[in-house]
Homo-oligomer: A and B are copies of this chain.
């Protein structure tokens, strides 16, 4: 199989490192370029990067010379994990230079002509790419995005319910892992023996992204799903794995069995990084737990538990996903696999 040569923007950061880790031994991709801030450019990756994942820097990237974050770089596909402060301008420059930009940044997620993808849910939103190319004059380049890491933890079970029963409203309280803030990110003085009730900018992102992801693509645009979302977002002392406490009102009546079945039977895809089970629903009373379940399906499965009727809403449940795999680098890689599978790349 032909291997696509991929470049990573923001390669030394937390998500950049996760990209490198997840791409080890990938049958479709090989890493050919690593771009990072001017401070790192010119050094080898081993010199530039303070590796924070388990183990040491993989051999295949140790000696790659880090390049500045500007096009062109030596690759077929660009993965971007740039901070949102620089992502908007830089990702556009890469798209304009002809690169497929598969972004984990928040900059373009809510742009009307940019797909916000969870491949199992809304692969048809890829239809926006042609519109985007025309509107922005991008040539063969384009931008696709994956959602905020907190949204990913509960959007899949929501999609399962939305498709079968319709959704009236959703209330979610998230308990998010420290790795979501990158490195050095959250000070140990802030999170030890503590909960932080505030993550800058997070609650609005969670509230609006869900509606777009579950929206309908027709006539060249996304019609957002018309349910209300309320999100309160907390940081808790967990390394990886965002937990969401969810209540939902459905449009149609559904039994508990219907609800569980809708989640369990929501199909996964057949892409390389697709988990065997997309939504794993457990009846174990004390699951899901981030430390035990975040690696479910190599970090690509959404774990759901404690599905019960609720006193105020129709149902409640707890959902969990790995925030730097399914919620970041893994999602972007899955998006790239989807783009190849659908012939866009």
* Copies of this chain, tallied across the complex: 4
Closest residue of B by beta carbon distance from A184: B187
**Alpha-carbon gap, A124 to B251, bound state (A):** 43
CB-CB under 8 A from A189, the residues of chain B are 14, 52, 178-179, 183-186, 239
Whether, in the assembled complex, A312 has its beta carbon less than 8 Å from a beta carbon of chain B, the answer is: yes
Whether, in the assembled complex, A226 has its beta carbon less than 8 Å from a beta carbon of chain B, the answer is: no
CB-CB under 8 A from A170, the residues of chain B are 312
Q: CB within 8 A of A198: which of B229, B236, B286, B310?
A: B286
* Cβ-defined contact, A183 with B194, below 8 A: no
Q: CB within 8 A of A245: which of B190, B232, B238, B316?
A: B232
With A54-B295, A185-B188, A239-B189 known to touch, is A290 a contact of B230 (CB < 8 Å)? Answer: no
CB-CB under 8 A from A288, the residues of chain B are 197
Whether, in the assembled complex, A234 has its beta carbon less than 8 Å from a beta carbon of chain B, the answer is: yes
**Alpha-carbon gap, A316 to B55, bound state (A):** 23
CB-CB under 8 A from A207, the residues of chain B are 311
Whether, in the assembled complex, A228 has its beta carbon less than 8 Å from a beta carbon of chain B, the answer is: yes
* Cβ-defined contact, B292 with A54, below 8 A: yes
What sequence of 0s and 1s flags, for each residue 94-129 of chain A, a beta carbon within 8 Å of any chain B beta carbon?
A: 000000000000000000000000000000000000
Residues facing B in A258-293 (CB within 8 A) are: 285-293
**Chain A interface residues toward B at CB < 8 A:** 14, 52-55, 169-171, 173, 175, 178-179, 183-198, 207, 228-230, 232, 234, 236-239, 243, 245, 247, 285-293, 295-296, 305-306, 310-313, 316, 318
